[in-house]
Amino acid sequence: VKARHFSIYFLHKKYGFTGGQLSKLYNTTRHRIFDICNLIGTYKRIDAIYRSELSEVESILDGLS
């Protein structure tokens, strides 16, 4: 689940995919997409391990660009 949430988060925040595009891609609702992004934002603020994992994935993605 975490990998799916991370991919949704980065596709939206880093690469500019819209909620509508992501809802079609992941076969879910736009509301759920935005819930996931908000949830990750919350975890990022309160959980150091989660923040570290998110940062690690982001640095890998930055290396691919």
Taking only the tens place, the pLDDT of each residue in 26-61 is 999 999 999 999 999 999 999 999 999 999 999 999
Structure tokens at 11: 């596709």
pLDDT band for 11, please (50, 70, 90 cuts): very high
Report pLDDT for 35: 97
Pick from 47, 51, 52, 5: nearest CA to 26: 5
Q: Please compute Rg for the chain using Cα positions.
A: 12
pLDDT for 48 equals 95
